[in-house]
Amino acid sequence: MTTLLALDTATEACSVALLHDGRVTSHYEVIPRLHAQRLLPMIKALLDSQGVTLSALDAIAFGRGPGAFTGVRIAIGVVQGLAFALDRPVLPVSNLAVLAQRSLREHGASQVAAAIDARMDEVYWGCYRAEQGEMRLVGAEAVLAPEQAQLPTDATSEWFGAGTGWGTFAPRIAAQVSARDDGMLPHAEDLLSLARFAWARDEAVVADQAQPIYLRDKVATPKMPPPAGF
């Protein structure tokens, strides 16, 4: 059976999830500014709790942004270090898609307008629809002023708003939704769900391609050394 590790540090939340023997386990904490200190111990504790070694992993999935610049870099550094050391492929997953997938899991929402507060009076924005249990992007992800955020031109039925962008800018967002979760943050359990779909489609890439998506800035991210502590 496939064994996948997923991790995310792109927002205030820090989370890890593991698929092993067909079972998913995870750990999630909202710990702003403590991701660098907590991520590796969280990974180790999760693996140890399931009796899984790093060498048993088939691939590593991660939140590739958009999100906080420092948070995304932390995930990239750990993923590149592990992937190079283990010679394993990686599965980059959009953090906006993770919000949409969490909305499906927790709220049963099949159409989601995901928004992350991008600071600088902007939001990271993406719209998703459920197809066979997977939230898939409709159109393109973008960073834009709240007033420019719109649903797809073919939008019908009810849409759900998810993410901190709604919490900060709801009165200014032009898109109309029937319900919202303004405080929702990405969770590695949902990242893992999306990674499983990508793995089944053979979309894993080599460690060199563990790169972030910032949307606003095309910032070069240097390779990070393998992490210590394992």
pLDDT score of 221 more than 60? no
CATH of domain 95-181: 3.30.420.40
Instruction: Show Cβ contacts of residue 77 under 8 Å, excluding neighbours closer than 6 positions.
Output: 224, 227
Which of the four pLDDT bands, split at 50, 70 and 90, describes residue 151? very high
What pLDDT score does 197 carry?
Answer: 98
DSSP-assigned states of every residue in 55-80: GG-SEEEEE--SS-HHHHHHHHHHHH
Q: pLDDT digit string (tens) for 94-147?
A: 999 999 999 999 999 999 999 999 999 999 999 999 999 999 999 999 999 999
Third-level CATH fold of 4-94+186-209: Nucleotidyltransferase; domain 5 (3.30.420)
Sequence spans of domains, the chain: 4-94+186-209, 95-181
DSSP β-bridge partners for residue 62: 7, 92
Tell me if domain 4-94+186-209 and domain 95-181 are identical in fold.
Answer: yes
- pLDDT averaged over every residue in the chain: 93
Instruction: Show Cβ contacts of residue 111 under 8 Å, excluding neighbours closer than 6 positions.
Output: 127, 128, 129, 130, 155, 157, 158, 159, 160
Instruction: Please give the Cα distance from 167 to 182 (Å, whole number).
Output: 4
What pLDDT score does 155 carry?
Answer: 87
Q: pLDDT digit string (tens) for 13-33?
A: 999 999 999 999 999 999 999
- Specify whether the backbone of 87 is left (phi greater than 0), alpha (psi in -120 to 50) or beta: left
